Amino acid sequence: MSQTINNVNRTGSPLDDFQREFGEAWRAMPNKGLFFVLLGGWILLFAVLGNPTMGYFKTPSLFGWLYGTYTRPGSEDEHGLLIPFVVLGLLWWKRRALLEVEKRVWLPGLVPFAFAVALHVVGYLIQQPRLSAAALFGGLYALISVVWGWRFARACFFPMVLLVFSMPLGDVIEFVTIPLRMISTKAALFVVQDLLGIQVVAEGVIIMDPKGAYQYEVAAPCSGIHSFIAMLALTTIYGFITFRTNWRRGLITSLALPLALAGNVLRLVCIIVAAEAFGREAGEFVHNWFGFATFLMALLVMFVVGGWLREPGVDSTMAGTAKAV
């Protein structure tokens, strides 16, 4: 009986295991005090002198501006709230490889840090908070290189690069959404008219029934750009944690755009077919809910291609921990 109790105590709970591993990783990292002092000053700068616009969000803090942008009604940037947690999770996932990298102060890292400061100053003066947000993330990465060296910074480039997905896009991507809307509309018309024989009329990005029974506009949110951004983030993460070779990672990442476009075209086709067969309300139902199904289909294709590309002799679930980069 006593031997059984001792075995249970040695095993511990998942929380105990996490605390033990976190403590070991914490003790193994040098220059922690220096990093957190610099990080605190960097955060304080953007909390006090981060947002000069005082327009929609009356706060001097860039963090307040970011939060307001992510959570405002109708926002398509809400995923930005999750990205920092994803980055922290992936850094923890790579902890063993990162701990093996040589770490020491690297003063040349102050050069990119100075560029980040200059970028924030420019963004502040011309009232462009997005430039300041880019400076915030870039400066954070530069501080990592200063405190722990260029080798460590290179080793954690992924997942730090994922912070780019925390950048709120808003209306700045309109020049991309317009051609995507046209491509989606023309592709959907080809399937509906030429392959399925359903007669619809198109005026620009508006698709309508000749009798006026229904009408749908491929608006900016329906262009597929947000599906593309989400798929790009997911394919990037999947590629880096699954494969060692860069060409496999690049191939998986390159699937983001065709998968997003194909899913958007399929959704448009299903909307028209449902409206034609069952009426406008059925089309509205598909419009509101079928996006989830197309996104799941895209993920399935990504996993199938990933299985086909898997590297012989490598455990795909541990590929990203095999080396730091």
Is the pLDDT confidence value at 9 over 70? no
Quick one: pLDDT band at residue 204, thresholds 50, 70, 90? confident
Measured between alpha carbons, how far is 236 from 234 in angstroms, rounded to an integer?
5
Dihedral pair phi/psi, residue 194, rounded to 5°: -80, -35
Quick one: pLDDT band at residue 173, thresholds 50, 70, 90? low
Q: pLDDT value at position 40?
A: 97
Mean pLDDT calculated for residue range 143-155? 97
Measured between alpha carbons, how far is 166 from 160 in angstroms, rounded to an integer?
11
C-alpha dihedral over 119, 120, 124, 126, to 10 degrees?
10
Most confident of 66-75, 210-219, 302-311: 302-311
Question: Which of 111-120, 176-185, 273-282 comes out lowest in average pLDDT?
Answer: 176-185
Measured between alpha carbons, how far is 234 from 231 in angstroms, rounded to an integer?
5
For the chain, what is the mean pLDDT? 85
H-run or E-run covering 53: none
Where is pLDDT greater, at 289 or 106?
A: 106
What are 238-279's pLDDT values in tens digits?
A: 998 899 888 999 999 999 999 988 988 898 899 889 988 888
Quick one: pLDDT band at residue 184, thresholds 50, 70, 90? confident
C-alpha dihedral over 190, 228, 57, 86, to 10 degrees?
160
Is the pLDDT confidence value at 193 over 50? yes
Mean pLDDT calculated for residue range 155-175? 84
Most confident of 1-10, 52-61, 125-134, 192-201: 125-134
Is the pLDDT confidence value at 1 over 90? no
What are 217-232's pLDDT values in tens digits?
A: 676 555 567 778 888 9
Is the pLDDT confidence value at 27 over 90? yes
Structure token pair of residue 23 = 């403590």
User: Residue type for 223, please?
Assistant: S
Dihedral pair phi/psi, residue 251, rounded to 5°: -65, -45
Q: pLDDT exceeding 90 applies to what percent of the chain?
A: 49
Quick one: pLDDT band at residue 175, thresholds 50, 70, 90? low
Quick one: pLDDT band at residue 75, thresholds 50, 70, 90? confident
Q: pLDDT value at position 180?
A: 81
Q: pLDDT value at position 141?
A: 98
Helices (H), the chain: 2-11, 14-28, 32-48, 62-71, 83-93, 95-99, 110-125, 129-148, 150-155, 157-160, 174-189, 225-242, 246-254, 256-278, 280-309
Give the side-chain half-sphere CA count within 13 A for 125.
6
Dihedral pair phi/psi, residue 76, rounded to 5°: -105, 10
